[in-house]
Amino acid sequence: MRRLLFILCLFLAFIRVFGQNGEVLPVQFNQFYQNYSLVHPAGTGLNKSFQVFLGYQGLTGIFKGVNTSYAGLNFRLKSKDTLHRKGHAFGINIYNNREGYYFNRGRLSISYAWHNPISWNWILSGGISLGVINHIYQGSDISAGGSALKPNADIGVFLYSLDQTHFGLTFSQLVGGDMSPLESSLRIKRHINISADKIFKVSPYFSLMPAVLIRTPVRKTSFDADLSMLAIVQDVVSFGVHYKFRYGYSIVGGIKNIKMGSSGFDLFFSYYSPFNNKGNVNMVEATCIFTKKRLMEEDEYAKRIRLLKLQAGDL
């Protein structure tokens, strides 16, 4: 309990450090719900003991040189909790955004999350990530190159349940100021990420999952919003639509929980088309997730949840 209070106090203290806004924001992936550790450090190590993430997002047509990719790793330490609800998790994310040959933006972050049950069904986690932002301009025959490096920090909380409901709140890019890879300056924009999703079991073989992510600058009324609706068949095939508020929509599809012994992988694709697409420029996105081992097999997990319900008097 003392650790939980410490995380909440630290979280509230960081709210006070926000100041002016700037112009630099990380590229947002449409499939944000596949890897919450990219958006919320407190989402590091959700329900899995070891995971590797790979993601790619790239424009088509005349802007095909503009793309973003990332690689990440999350792992949970062993816990004495029989349901593995309580424990420490660590992660690392490497992120690269390339705009043609000359402009390259990179990020490296190391995250930590502490997961703590607040009831038989709900877990509250607090997390922090520390890293660097690097902007590079390649030199050419007519202009000099340059680069700039700046520290970065994110902090937040994540509330989730054993029946797969998630709420996240993160204050991102806490370290403000300017970056000057060339004569011009770029300002790091402090912002807030708010997300939620829930899986609704329609039948034993079919589920629906709505998801939303809102990103808003601090002390500004503007915001970006991503909304998704996925259908999941037999917990293997997934397909749906994604709407980026004011900008466009995506078609999403993939497979999940493909077993390879005690391990498995998920693979998802999406195709995005903006509104008023006069230049015929679209975007493709792919996400691959490798899971070494779940914290617990589904049947055993369900049995222990039922036992907790009986102990809590909810059955």
How would residue 260 be classed by pLDDT, with cut points 50, 70 and 90? confident
- Tracing tokens 């970006």 back to the chain, one arrives at 224
Strands 122-137 and 48-59: unpaired
CB atoms within 10 A of CB 51: 25
**Residue 76 backbone zone (phi > 0: left; psi -120 to 50: alpha; other: beta):** beta
- Is it the case that residue 107 has pLDDT exceeding 60? yes
How would residue 19 be classed by pLDDT, with cut points 50, 70 and 90? very low
Top pLDDT among 78 and 67 is at: 67
Lowest-pLDDT range, 95-104, 105-114, 166-175?
95-104
The three-class DSSP label of residue 98 is strand
Top pLDDT among 217 and 156 is at: 156
pLDDT digits (tens, 9 = 90+) for 33-46: 999 999 999 999 98
Q: Mean per-residue pLDDT for 265-291? A: 88
Domain residue ranges in the chain: 2-312
Top pLDDT among 285 and 26 is at: 285
Residue type, 315: L
Residue type, 260: M
Question: Whole-angstrom Cα distance, residue 23 to residue 180?
Answer: 12
Predicted pLDDT at 119? 85
Measured in degrees and rounded to the nearest 5, phi and psi for residue 280 equal 55, 45
The three-class DSSP label of residue 89 is strand
Q: Mean per-residue pLDDT for 184-204? A: 89
Residue type, 86: K
Q: Tokens representing 107?
A: 């990020």
Top pLDDT among 54 and 141 is at: 54
Q: What is the DSSP letter of 62?
A: G
- Is it the case that residue 268 has pLDDT exceeding 70? yes
Predicted pLDDT at 120? 78
The CATH code of the domain at 2-312 is: 2.40.160.40
Short-list 298, 295, 311, 257, CA closest to 85: 295
Question: Whole-angstrom Cα distance, residue 67 to residue 124?
Answer: 34
Query: pTM (2 decimals)?
Result: 0.82
